[in-house]
Amino acid sequence: MKKLFLIFIAILVSGAAIAKEPIDIKFDDGIYHITLKGDKIKKKIKVHAVSGLKTNAEVHKESGARLTVNAGYFDPANKKTISYVTMESQTYEDPMLNENLLGNAFLRKNLNKILNRTEFRIIECDSKYKYEIVPHNTPVDFACDMKYAVQGGPLILPQLRLEEELFVVKDGDKVVRESCSVLHKVARTVLGIKDGDLHILIITDEHPMDMYEVQALCKELGFDRAMGLDGGSSTSMNYLNKYNVISTKGDGAGRELKSFILVY
């Protein structure tokens, strides 16, 4: 009886140890698949933006976060955002304040598509937290508070919104404009939601993908919703002191970025 009791305690302790690790990271064929499990970790995820630009590694070290990944789009010429960023329930970065965006005649003509690109949200409702992946103009449910959000795009699942979010412009069946290399094989940072958990894919230069291939992968993984973040040379991930992932398309230090997702 005593032996059975000890075995039972050992199982409980083992289960508790497993439950305390809400970040699961798998690496296969050039792709990091990060799963953020359970409800407790939802309160430990924050969106962060810097006044200028910094590398993912710099922000990871300064913030003390366990996990740091790159997030929204920005203009490297003037270091201003092209994506909305919400921090602590307040709009912190607004693309409408980017004069390069407003000063471009073509972009200004299609501003509604850019401003309504997909964003990732952390929503608080009745002291409970949940994730959303929705177009920016989607209203927040009544009595809920959007704690953190960062815009990226395009929406990948349930459908790919390349033209709707101005990542692709077509003249008939011919592509006449492409943004963010969505039709080319490059590194990617992708968010997915499945059964209430958040998934992050860091698709490295070892296995570059176009957005149609990313969509197929997200379907294979069973994501309910998925979206892209800034990718290519911006693709970055740091986890504790264990992983330091950057695109090899650069000087080896990692590209300087505007916004980040931090997990504590």
- Which residues have CB under 8 Å from 94's CB, separation 6+? 81, 84
Question: Residues 132-140: contacts with CB within 8 Å, 24+ apart?
Answer: 133/191, 133/192, 133/193, 133/225, 133/226, 133/227, 136/84
User: How does pLDDT run across 195-230, given as a tens digit for each residue?
Assistant: 999 999 999 999 999 999 999 999 999 999 999 999
Judge whether residue 13 has pLDDT over 80. no
According to DSSP, residue 71 is labeled -
CA dist., res. 229 & res. 141, Å (int): 24
* Share of residues in the chain with pLDDT > 70 (%): 90
Do 81 and 259 touch, CB atoms closer than 8 A?
yes
pTM for the predicted model, two decimal places: 0.91
pLDDT, the chain, mean:
93
Query: So what's the pLDDT on residue 7?
Result: 47
pLDDT tens digit sequence for 153-170: 999 999 999 999 999 999
